[in-house]
Amino acid sequence: MYAVVKLQGHQYRVEPEALIQVPRLAAEVGAEIPIESVLLLQDGEVSVGQPFARGARVTAEVVRHLRGPKVVGVKYKKRKDYRRRWGQRSDLTELRIRTIQAG
């Protein structure tokens, strides 16, 4: 059984007990988060929502808050003595999918 859910503008394929990393959520570690925007649900047969599957629900638990890997960008112009470097790290929340309920 798996589902495709929409969370904070991103789509994730989730299964029970799977770990996913999403952009930082304002929730405490250990909190249960219901996800009601289920786009697709596969439980023997595939049901696709229009836009969301009726009655389908995914429950997730916040495992931890973390920061992603550093992404470094560089600008460079030859023979002009111009070099610019920058970097950034995304704030992430790791979720464990607990249950997937069909409607």
pLDDT single digits (tens) 10-65: 999 999 999 999 999 999 999 999 999 999 999 888 989 899 998 899 999 999 99
Phi first, then psi: what are they for 61, rounded to 5°?
-120, 135
pLDDT band at 103 (very low <50, low <70, confident <90, very high): confident
Nearest to 21 by CA among 72, 87, 66, 69: 66
pTM, whole model, 2 decimals?
0.84
The encoded tokens of residue 68 equal 């992603």
What is residue 44's predicted lDDT score, i.e. its pLDDT? 86
Domains of the chain: which residue ranges?
Answer: 2-65+92-101
On the question of pLDDT at 69 being above 90, the answer is yes
- Residue 7 contacts residue 23 (beta carbons within 8 Å): no
Torsion (CA) 57, 61, 64, 67 in degrees, nearest 10: 0
